């Protein structure tokens, strides 16, 4: 297990900022943008009982997207303050660890794991829980920060100083995600996963700063060396290999 900087990655900061979860221009602004981006890769619910499990749901920012797409929305998090906010927005809130989710195997049509991998040392364990929860053919959407020097500069030294960026000190580069290991783990777990780089639309950021937009659109990038998303499905048959992991791991 990697040991990070004890002065960083204090997740209690999220509880301290709980009143800002739903403020479009508050401390969690970029998480609104990412929630909208994730939703764009979730298919409409196949029926009224379709379930979306939201790992590390925080204040439940996926709630309007899950409702629009027709899913029952279960949010799992350790933070009690965030879960209360999520419940106020219609999320069925479950307090628990993303490393041992208190839900049954194969219960989920969709699992979303947004902005959590870079906050834990056990990346593969989180992915294993996602695979366990998904039914065969189910959809997985993740996003995280890559373990690169460039990501450390952009996501920590620059982004933490910008409006809409992460709270100062919330990210520890020692916990950033090795993309090759992530893809290899996904393959072993029966998940066909491809990675895509993400960045905020510069035009939208300007409009957001001027108060003309509530949400900034995330644009795809060929490089996954800073912020990236992973889109995939759980294979239909145990042991049956899908397409090889996409070659999207740029340095």
Query: pLDDT tens digits, residue range 43-100?
Result: 999 999 999 999 999 999 999 999 999 999 999 999 999 999 999 999 999 999 999 9
Q: How much is the average pLDDT of 164-180?
A: 84
Nearest to 83 by CA among 73, 94, 71, 74: 94
Nearest to 33 by CA among 131, 140, 124, 162: 162
**pLDDT at residue number 141:** 98
Report whether 195 contacts 229 (CB < 8 A). yes
pLDDT in tens, 198-224: 999 999 999 999 999 999 999 999 999
Nearest to 125 by CA among 171, 181, 52, 76: 181
**pLDDT at residue number 110:** 98
**pLDDT at residue number 149:** 96
Q: Indicate the range of 8-17, 145-154, 174-183 predicted with least confidence.
A: 8-17
pLDDT in tens, 2-32: 445 556 666 677 777 788 899 988 878 889 9
pLDDT in tens, 98-117: 999 999 999 999 999 999 99
Domains for the chain: give ranges and CATH numbers: 12-234 (3.40.50.150)
Half-sphere exposure of 148 (CA within 13 A, CB side): 18
Q: How much is the average pLDDT of 190-195?
A: 98
**pLDDT at residue number 104:** 97
What's the pTM?
0.89
CA 93 – CA 23 distance, rounded (Å): 20
pLDDT grade for 231, boundaries at 50, 70 and 90: very high
**pLDDT at residue number 171:** 84
**pLDDT at residue number 58:** 93
């Amino acid at each position: 297990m990697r040991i990070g900087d004890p002065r960083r990655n204090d997740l209690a900061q999220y509880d301290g900022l709980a009143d800002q979860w739903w403020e479009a221009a508050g401390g969690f602004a970029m998480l609104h943008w990412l929630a909208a981006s994730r939703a764009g890769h979730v298919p409409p619910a196949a029926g009224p009982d379709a379930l979306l499990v939201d790992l590390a749901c925080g204040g439940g920012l996926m709630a309007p997207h899950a409702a629009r797409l027709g899913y029952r929305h279960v949010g799992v998090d350790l933070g009690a303050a965030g879960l209360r906010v999520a419940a106020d927005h219609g999320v069925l809130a479950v307090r628990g660890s993303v490393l041992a989710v208190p839900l049954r195997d194969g219960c989920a049509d969709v699992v979303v794991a947004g902005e959590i991998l870079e906050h834990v040392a056990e990346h593969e364990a989180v992915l294993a829980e996602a695979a366990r929860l998904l039914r065969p053919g189910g959809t997985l959407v993740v996003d995280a920060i890559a373990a690169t020097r460039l990501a450390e500069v952009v996501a920590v030294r620059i982004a933490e100083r910008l409006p809409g960026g992460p709270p100062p000190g919330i990210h520890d580069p020692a916990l950033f995600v090795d993309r090759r290991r992530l893809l290899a783990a996904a393959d072993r777990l029966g998940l066909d996963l491809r990675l895509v780089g993400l960045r905020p639309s510069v035009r939208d950021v300007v409009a957001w700063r001027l108060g003309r937009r509530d949400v900034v659109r995330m644009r795809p990038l060929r490089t996954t060396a800073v912020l990236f998303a992973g889109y995939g499905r759980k294979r239909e048959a145990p042991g049956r290999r899908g397409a090889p992991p996409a070659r999207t791991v740029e340095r």
